[in-house]
Structure 1
Amino acid sequence: MLTKSEKSFVFVYVIIVILELVCSSLVSLYALHFITKPSVVISLICFLHQNTNDLDGKTKKITIWALTFSVLGDILLMFVFINQNFFIGGLISFMLAHLMYIKVFYGKHKFHKKIFNFLGILLIYVFFLFYILKNNLGNMLLPVILYMAVILLMVTMAFLRQGQVNKLSFILVFLGAITFIISDSLLALNKFYRPLPLANISIMLTYALAQLLIVFGLKKQS
């Protein structure tokens, strides 16, 4: 399933994620968090650049843009303690990242009737999450609604790749998209509903896994 280079990268990737979790949790190492957090996705950019010569240039370029916007979002969110406007900046950056992923997934999509059942389940989940959050969103109401719409479209496009790419590529990308929603949901609940136990760990683990699955899935489509 995984090539030798992919296995080697996963090993390095896991170490980087663990370092980020440690640095973000310990006061004595927190300064290193400003290096380790962006390093998670930066490592994916390096991997994609060096190990996807068989992936078409357009897909590779747009995916790198998606990851670059993700890194920018990670950096901006680290400075929310200074000013809440950094959260808006981070939200916009991740929205742009999702739009890049939508563009990549759209090139391999095909409409089929199964989408209605999937969309029904997805909409129930999103509306339930919004119902929990809405009273605490304040002036973030419209930005959050817009972000939800974009990530909903991203997951839908990932689902519509079914039958247009090989099974492994579809499964990895689709699981990555679903995991991304879970990560963003945890972040939203922690920020706008109530603090979650071990929030930094659960959010980072699901986020790192989502990005890894999407990148590996896109690599496998070739």
Structure 2
Amino acid sequence: MLTNTEKQFCILFFIIVLTELLTGQTESLQNVHYLAKPAIVISLIFLFIKTSQHLSKSIKGLTLAALAFSLLGDILLMFVNKSEHIFTLGLVAFLLAHIMYILIFLKHRNIKITPFGFIAVLLIYTSYLFNFLREGLGDMLIPVIVYMVVILTMSTAAYLRKGKVNIVSYGLVFLGALCFMASDSILALNKFYQTIPWSNISIMLTYAIAQYLIIIGILKLKGD
């Protein structure tokens, strides 16, 4: 399923993510952490540029834009302790990344699929999550609601690719979208509800897996 380049990249990506997870928990290694965290998305950018020749210009452009906004979000969230406004800017950066992914996924929307059942499951999940978050949101209520709507739309758009792309591309992208939701859910609970033990590890691990699966899934599109 993976090309030789992708297999080699997988090893490099694992090392980068492991470095980020280890240094993110150690104050004396913060300088390495500041390099390792953005390196996760930077490495995906290089992989995508190298192996995306078979994709259309629009998909390549939107994917690189999604990764660029993700990279900006990663960098901003490293300095969230400096100002609460930085968190909001990071939220906007990731919101734009999700919008880019939505535009990519909708290019292969299967109009024969009705997503109402899937959307109902997402709404039940989101309502349950929001029940924990709402009291701690304060001024972030509207931005968080907007962000939740966008990421739910991104997951739905990933779901709607079923039957229009090959099964490998569909499965990887859809699983990646769900991992993105998991990562953002943990981050939201940790910030607005209560501190979650080892949250940095669970957030970054699910986030890294999400980005990896989505990018590999897009690369698995054939002749597009």
TM-score bracket for the superposition, by shorter chain length: over 0.9
Which stretches in structure 2 are left out of the alignment for 5+ residues?
Answer: none
Instruction: For residues 25-63 of structure 1, give each alpha carbon's deviation from its aligned partner in whole angstroms, at most 9, with x where no partner exists.
Output: 111111221111111001000000011111222101110
Q: How does 1:1-222 map to 2 (within 5 A)?
A: 1-222=1-222
Regions of 4+ moved over 3 Å:
none
Structure 2 CA distance for aligned equivalents of residues 78 and 28 of structure 1: 15
Q: Do 1:65 and 1:100's aligned partners in 2 also have CA atoms closer than 8 Å?
A: yes
Residue 28 of structure 2 aligns with an amino acid whose one-letter code is S
Instruction: For residues 120-175 of structure 1, give each alpha carbon's deviation from its aligned partner in whole angstroms, at most 9, with x where no partner exists.
Output: 11110011111110010000000000000000110010000001101110000000
Alpha-carbon shift at residue 113 of structure 1 (Å): 4.6
Structure 2 CA distance for aligned equivalents of residues 216 and 113 of structure 1: 24
Structure 1 CA distance for aligned equivalents of residues 145 and 112 of structure 2: 26
**Secondary structure at the residue paired with 2:80?**
coil
Residue 135 of structure 1 aligns with an amino acid whose one-letter code is E
Which stretches in structure 1 are left out of the alignment for 5+ residues?
Answer: none
Structure 1 CA distance for aligned equivalents of residues 155 and 111 of structure 2: 14
**Percent of residue pairs identical:** 50
Structure 2 CA distance for aligned equivalents of residues 172 and 101 of structure 1: 14
Q: Do 1:112 and 1:160's aligned partners in 2 also have CA atoms closer than 8 Å?
A: no
Q: Do 1:182 and 1:206's aligned partners in 2 also have CA atoms closer than 8 Å?
A: yes
**Secondary structure at the residue paired with 1:25?**
coil
Residue 220 of structure 1 aligns with an amino acid whose one-letter code is K
Q: Do 2:69 and 2:97's aligned partners in 1 also have CA atoms closer than 8 Å?
A: yes
TM-score normalised by length of structure 1: 0.98
Structure 2 CA distance for aligned equivalents of residues 157 and 186 of structure 1: 22
CA RMSD between the two structures: 0.8
Alpha-carbon shift at residue 74 of structure 1 (Å): 0.5
Alpha-carbon shift at residue 111 of structure 1 (Å): 2.9
Residue 221 of structure 1 aligns with an amino acid whose one-letter code is L
Alpha-carbon shift at residue 112 of structure 1 (Å): 3.6
Residue 109 of structure 2 aligns with an amino acid whose one-letter code is H
Alpha-carbon shift at residue 219 of structure 1 (Å): 0.5
**Secondary structure at the residue paired with 2:104?**
helix
TM-score normalised by length of structure 2: 0.97
